[in-house]
Structure 1
């Protein structure tokens, strides 16, 4: 069976329709990262054990070009840090799948860089709950 690989052309938007900010043209990398954890089992008097608690957290992590001009995406993050906004992440438009949910905006990790370069900065947003997978309409 052939492996299905998609050329990654996707989108990331943050905000409600009336205040939508599209980050797609600034991103060099973006991914939805899920971390899971299970606590230790708990022994009970009968000699059995109760399964540990399972939990998952998600972050949206990536790298973007720094921009300080008009309609700066980096300054939007800086100005909206700590706020909760809805997002839509389409990892590959060819695949037709999307992930939606809410995230907490965080300031860019770095501002500035080397002379005569195109500086980038890492971004990381905590997803509230778990993103919902669905089809692109």
Structure 2
């Protein structure tokens, strides 16, 4: 049974030109958010249940990297674009997750003379697809 996050992989981009970002992440997760509509009252005195809507986001924390080839600069250059991703929580087997994310900018910087971190949140288009690692 695999229960530890890492070592793993996070690839973003089209097959053949995808970029590996695992070396930048100190934390990563796929996070669901579910909202529910209010129930609707009907004439006979009963209620029709409201619908649930679930959205997903690829979230994480990165170590700042001030090199030109950083995840922050990638996110700036590709902000608003929808790109495929594959996230492998642990390379030793189990499951990977794929789908499409919308790239958003990531903060840069923080405290002077410290290794700073910044959080990222890339919303998914639809739900992630689990796949079995071979």
Does the CA contact (< 8 Å) of 1:30 and 1:63 recur in 2?
Answer: yes
Looking at structure 1, the residues matched to 70 and 2 of structure 2 have their Cα atoms a distance apart, in angstroms, of 36
1:98 to 96, 105, 110: 96
Match of 1:136 in 2: 133
2:63 to 57, 62, 65: 65
Looking at structure 2, the residues matched to 97 and 5 of structure 1 have their Cα atoms a distance apart, in angstroms, of 11
Does the CA contact (< 8 Å) of 1:62 and 1:123 recur in 2?
Answer: yes
> Over aligned residues, Cα RMSD in angstroms?
1.7
State the Cα distance separating 1:104 from its structure 2 match: 0.4
Deviates most, 9-18 or 69-78 = 69-78
Looking at structure 1, the residues matched to 91 and 37 of structure 2 have their Cα atoms a distance apart, in angstroms, of 37
Structure 1 spans left out of the alignment, 5+ residues: none
Match of 2:82 in 1: 84
Deviates most, 125-134 or 68-77 = 68-77
Does the CA contact (< 8 Å) of 1:40 and 1:51 recur in 2?
Answer: yes
Looking at structure 1, the residues matched to 93 and 46 of structure 2 have their Cα atoms a distance apart, in angstroms, of 46
2:118 to 87, 108, 121: 121
Looking at structure 1, the residues matched to 22 and 100 of structure 2 have their Cα atoms a distance apart, in angstroms, of 18
State the Cα distance separating 1:112 from its structure 2 match: 1.8
State the Cα distance separating 1:71 from its structure 2 match: 2.3
Match of 1:75 in 2: 73
Looking at structure 2, the residues matched to 33 and 93 of structure 1 have their Cα atoms a distance apart, in angstroms, of 20
State the Cα distance separating 1:44 from its structure 2 match: 1.1
- Total equivalences in the alignment: 134
Q: Which runs of 4+ in 1 moved over 3 A?
A: none
